[in-house]
Amino acid sequence: MPEIGDSILTALGLIVSGDPDLIEIVLLSLRVSLTAVALAAMIGVPLGAALAVLRFPGRGALVLLVNALMGLPPVVVGLFVYLCLSATGPFGVFGLLYTPGAMIIAQTILVAPIIAALSRATLAEMAAEYDDTLRMLGASPTETIATLLWDARFALVTALLAGLGRALAEVGAVMLVGGNIDHVTRVMTTAIALETSRGALPMALGLGMVLLLLTLILNAAVIGLRARFEGPAHA
Amino acid sequence: MKRLLLALFLATPAMAQDNVVLVQSTTSTQNSGLYDAILPIAEEALGLDIRVVAVGTGQALQNAERCDGDMLIVHARDAEIAFVAAGFGTERQDLMYNDFVIVGPATDPAGIADAPDAATALGAIAAAAAPFASRGDDSGTHRKELSLWDGVADVAAASGTWYRETGSGMGATLNVAAGMGAYTLTDRATWLAFENRGDLAILFQGDPELFNQYGVIPVDPEHCPNVNINGAQAFTDWLVSEAGQQAIADYTLGGEQLFFPNAN
């Protein structure tokens, strides 16, 4: 496989040269996926907390549904969002199709169930642990959720990172709703798909390595921040 | 932080702007690098921001019918004429042409290289039951391929045996053909720009049946009030003008011209 060597050289060349097209693509990938994860967190964390703490009819079915939605194929989400945002679709008037906004919406839908399901699992475990104490203190559900969220804040970062990994890695949804338009909606994964379809495999794999490096840096940054805030006792 | 994220989200261009033209296009024109060569010239001349969504011709026609594009650059003449006749496009014009070629393993196990015409070449592939990778995606190339098989072999019955439908784009199908040593039909432009040829080579070419005509169509504003007809018409007029046709003719790869302008 001589392509591996070629692609490592290509990746290094891309990084060293500071190719403006590559920088543009990387920045758009970050902008789309980080925004999507932030929005998905605003939906997913409260939903996960509610499912972990509150007891209501249909809760079991809802947990099952959220867990199942983690397996949503990106291309199905892409198709759904495409039909919604299409000029003749229900939200066509907003003119969002083939813009980064459409890509953010699609990735938010993909990532929210992941964050919700992982948050729920984390918080449910902690809720069981804290149950006696919180009951003794007579905590209301809101207070219970607030306490759990605060104490689980570092564990929840893992859920966000899992969501970010999914967002940065998926290609099916952003390809359909973004259209892979040069300088407008081209991100790392759609650029990789394009280079593959051109048979430019070393370039495609080289871009893949840049994407991997980016994910590594993001993860390292988050772990670094976490260690700092958690203090030396936990680090 | 939340406000920053919201600002980022809202900063995306929400409404179609006057100078943005969205082209629903076949993939060969993008994969071959044609747009990278001619769009900067057109944008400079017209003051437009031209955006290309490259999908198969079938999907491009569907997307345009749903009003998700201002114009089309595709290659399936009958379907294009039907698109205009149905009231979805204003006018279809010839833009340029190249040709299809049959590529396959350089050893040519089915012996198609000396066939007198495309039908005989495909017949030899079917008779030898040699692997053939079909696009299988309702693209312009797929439609052309099916029309060539018509009366030669019942490929629908052979699907999954020697006849393998990839259901994907030209580049992906060429990657498959290179990987499994299969024959396939490809437009010459995608082939010339394609870098992962493995031991594939052009084995059959030159039959007039393999002519590949590209057309350009602005989407009809009466069908789609949201389209930027002025921008689409301006870019269409430029493409078929002397300047546009010259820009197409000037695009070469490895010394070979990929597309031959033939607007009236």
B159: β partners: B163
Alpha carbons B238 and B221: distance in angstroms, whole number: 19
Q: Based on the domain organization, do B105 and B205 belong to the same domain?
A: yes
Cβ(A87)–Cβ(A155) below 8 Å: no
> Is it the case that residue A143 has pLDDT exceeding 80?
yes
Burial class (CB in 10 A: 0-12, 13-18, 19+), A214: middle
B16 → closest Cβ in A95, A179, A200: A95
Q: Based on the domain organization, do B129 and B145 belong to the same domain?
A: yes
Does the residue B47 lie in any domain? yes
Tell me the angle at which helices A153-169 and A141-151 cross, rounded to the nearest 10 degrees. Answer: 70
Q: Which helix (H) or strand (E) holds B40?
A: helix B34-46
Chain B residues whose CB is inside 8 A of the A204 CB are: none
| Contact assignment for A99 to B9 by CB distance below 8 Å | no
Task: Of B57, B43, B55, B30, give the one whose Cα is nearest residue B217.
Answer: B57
Alpha carbons B48 and B71: distance in angstroms, whole number: 14
Cβ(B14)–Cβ(B58) below 8 Å: no
Residue A233, token pair as written in the block? 């006792």
Chain A residues whose CB is inside 8 A of the B27 CB are: 197
Q: Based on the domain organization, do B219 and B205 belong to the same domain?
A: no
Chain B residues whose CB is inside 8 A of the A95 CB are: 13-16, 226
Minimum distance, in Å, between the CA of residue B116 and any CA atom of chain A: 30
Count of domains forming chain B: 2
Model ipTM?
Answer: 0.83
In terms of DSSP bridges, do strands B184-187 and B200-204 run parallel, antiparallel, or are they unpaired? unpaired
pLDDT of residue B12: 46
Q: Based on the domain organization, do B105 and B60 belong to the same domain?
A: no
Q: Based on the domain organization, do B84 and B131 belong to the same domain?
A: no
Interchain contact A200–B (C-beta under 8 A): yes
| Contact assignment for B195 to A86 by CB distance below 8 Å | no
Q: Based on the domain organization, do B45 and B121 belong to the same domain?
A: no
Chain A residues whose CB is inside 8 A of the B70 CB are: none
Q: Which CATH number belongs to the domain containing residue B197 in this structure?
A: 3.40.190.10
Average pLDDT for chain B: 92
Does the residue B57 lie in any domain? yes
Minimum distance, in Å, between the CA of residue A96 and any CA atom of chain B: 6
Interchain contact B91–A (C-beta under 8 A): no
Q: Based on the domain organization, do B110 and B35 belong to the same domain?
A: no
| Contact assignment for A92 to B170 by CB distance below 8 Å | no
Interchain contact B224–A (C-beta under 8 A): yes
Q: Based on the domain organization, do B61 and B141 belong to the same domain?
A: no
| Contact assignment for A35 to B68 by CB distance below 8 Å | no
Residue type at B193?
Answer: A
| Contact assignment for B66 to A86 by CB distance below 8 Å | yes
Burial class (CB in 10 A: 0-12, 13-18, 19+), B174: buried
Task: Of B64, B47, B66, give the one whose Cα is nearest residue B56.
Answer: B64
Alpha carbons A120 and A113: distance in angstroms, whole number: 10
- Lowest model confidence (mean pLDDT) among A226-230, B136-140, B221-225: A226-230
* CB neighbour list of residue B208: distance below 8 Å, 6 or more residues apart: none
The interface residues of chain A toward chain B in range 108-167, judged by CB-CB distance below 8 A, are: none
The pLDDT-based confidence of B13 (bands split at 50, 70, 90) is very low
Q: Which helix (H) or strand (E) holds A167?
A: helix A153-169
pLDDT of residue A228: 81
The pLDDT-based confidence of A7 (bands split at 50, 70, 90) is confident
CA angle B223-B229-B235, nearest 5°?
135
Alpha carbons A114 and A122: distance in angstroms, whole number: 12
Superfamily of domain A21-191: MetI-like (1.10.3720.10)
pTM of the model: 0.88
Minimum distance, in Å, between the CA of residue A219 and any CA atom of chain B: 19
Q: Based on the domain organization, do B128 and B142 belong to the same domain?
A: yes
Interchain contact B7–A (C-beta under 8 A): no
To test the contact with chain A by mutation, choose from B24, B196, B253 the residue with the greatest count of A C-beta atoms within 10 A, namely: B196
pLDDT of residue B6: 53
SS3 content of chain A, % helix, strand, coil (to 5): 80, 0, 20
Interchain contact B27–A (C-beta under 8 A): yes
Residue B175, token pair as written in the block? 């990657």
Interchain contact A182–B (C-beta under 8 A): yes
Chain A residues whose CB is inside 8 A of the B170 CB are: 197
pLDDT of residue A13: 86
Interchain contact A184–B (C-beta under 8 A): yes
Chain B residues whose CB is inside 8 A of the A106 CB are: none
Cβ(B159)–Cβ(B211) below 8 Å: no
Alpha carbons B71 and B91: distance in angstroms, whole number: 10
For residue B174, give its domain range: 99-210
Q: What is the mean pLDDT of residues A91-97?
A: 92
B67 → closest Cβ in A88, A179, A180: A88
| Contact assignment for A99 to B197 by CB distance below 8 Å | no
pLDDT of residue A231: 63
| Contact assignment for B195 to A38 by CB distance below 8 Å | no
Q: Based on the domain organization, do B82 and B71 belong to the same domain?
A: yes
Q: Which helix (H) or strand (E) holds B164?
A: strand B163-165
pLDDT of residue B9: 52
Q: Based on the domain organization, do B57 and B160 belong to the same domain?
A: no
Q: Based on the domain organization, do B107 and B157 belong to the same domain?
A: yes
pLDDT of residue B209: 95
> Is it the case that residue A1 has pLDDT exceeding 70?
no
Query: Domain segments of chain A: what residues?
Result: 21-191
Q: What is the mean pLDDT of residues B18-25?
A: 94
Chain A residues whose CB is inside 8 A of the B14 CB are: 94-96, 99, 101
pLDDT of residue B15: 45
Alpha carbons B151 and B54: distance in angstroms, whole number: 32
- The torsion of the CA quartet B249, B254, B255, B260, rounded to 10 degrees, works out to -30
Contact pairs from chain A to chain B, CB under 8 Å: 90
